[in-house]
Amino acid sequence: MKIIIDTNVLVSAAFRDRLPESVILWILAHPEWAWIASEEIIREYKEVLRRPKFKLTDAQVQYWRDLIDEAVEIVPVSATVDFPRDRKDAKFLACALAHRADVLLTGDRDFEDADREINKMKISQFSRFTLDLPEDE
């Protein structure tokens, strides 16, 4: 199963938000799930984690950068997707479509209008699907 994790989920996990972090760690502990991302998505992950507004410690940033480097399968994406609602999110849709991702894990409502071929799930939905945790929203 292939999963793409939106940056907002990663940032929530970096804040030590219990549910997003638990979900990411669950994904990494289950080899049948592959966290995939394009180079462009990886760059966004790492840039966003460094943003001063999030006030993450150097240790937190380094932990997540190391995790990304070790755990994420980098996949090529040559196609582009037109996503006028939020152009900077088009890279997630392009990756999902190009690699037939099983899940795009996101809390971003902009994706609600995205291609119906993409299975978009919120953290709370995914956790009920996989972890049997109570809804956190």
Number of domains forming the structure of the chain: 1
CATH number at residue 98: 3.40.50.1010
Domain that holds residue 17: 2-130
Q: Is residue 135 part of a domain?
A: no
pLDDT-derived band at 101 (thresholds 50, 70, 90) equals very high
**Of 72 and 111, more confident:** 72
Query: How confident is the prediction for the chain on average, in pLDDT?
Result: 88
- Is the pTM here over 0.75, yes or no? yes
Residue 102 lies in a domain: yes
Residues 6+ apart with CB under 8 A from 92: 4, 6, 41, 104, 106, 111
Placement of tokens 């462009």 in the chain = 40
